[in-house]
């Protein structure tokens, strides 16, 4: 049953698109990803700040930094657009049941201009693909 659910989630994540993107500088949206290592469904929210930066929040039921990827957690960061990419800076995470925020390395999102899928290179060079969900 679990495998069937993951296959269905993967199919939905790859077919549900349509997030409105006004231009190359607009990264605002809600995204979902299937983690290729553990099969968890991760959620990503990017909203614009009044100063031109972006507020980035990602949640995962199995965050790699939390108990070896067996515990839920969230990642927060500030996004800065540089050269058509969204740099994820001041990255912090916390695990479920903890109030302590801990640092993670900065990283960069790139976006496919046709599909608007976001790509993030994670630890050990693994790529995570975030698919846009819904519309404005």
Q: What is the mean pLDDT of the chain?
A: 82
Q: What is the CA radius of gyration of the chain?
A: 15
Q: Which domain holds residue 62?
A: 2-132
Give residue 135's pLDDT band: very low, low, confident or very high (50, 70, 90).
Answer: low
pLDDT digits (tens, 9 = 90+) for 64-111: 889 988 899 999 999 999 999 999 999 999 999 999 999 999 999 999
Count of structural domains, the chain: 1
Give residue 123's pLDDT band: very low, low, confident or very high (50, 70, 90).
Answer: low
User: Which 3 state secondary structure label does DSSP give 58?
Assistant: strand
Strand partners, 81: 86
- The pLDDT score that the predictor gives to residue 6 is 39
- The pLDDT score that the predictor gives to residue 124 is 61
- The pLDDT score that the predictor gives to residue 13 is 37
Write the CB contacts of 16 (distance below 8 Å, at least 6 apart in sequence). Answer: 32, 131, 133, 134
Percent of the chain with pLDDT over 90: 61
pTM of this prediction?
Answer: 0.78
Please report, for the domain that includes residue 16, its CATH number: 2.40.128
- The pLDDT score that the predictor gives to residue 4 is 37
- Going by C-alpha positions, the residue among 97, 123, 131 that lies closest to residue 37 is 123
């Amino acid at each position: 049953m679990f495998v069937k659910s993951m296959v269905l989630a993967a199919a939905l994540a790859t077919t549900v698109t349509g997030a409105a993107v006004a231009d190359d500088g607009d990264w605002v949206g809600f995204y979902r990803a299937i983690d290729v290592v553990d099969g968890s469904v991760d959620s990503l929210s990017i909203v614009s700040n009044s100063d031109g930066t972006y507020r980035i929040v990602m949640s995962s039921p199995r965050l790699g930094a939390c108990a070896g990827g067996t515990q839920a957690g969230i990642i927060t960061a500030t996004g800065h657009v540089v050269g058509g990419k969204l740099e994820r800076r001041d990255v912090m995470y916390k695990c479920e049941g903890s109030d302590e925020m801990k640092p993670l390395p900065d990283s960069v999102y790139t976006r496919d201009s046709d599909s608007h899928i976001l790509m993030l290179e994670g630890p050990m060079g693994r790529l995570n693909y975030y698919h846009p969900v819904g519309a404005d």
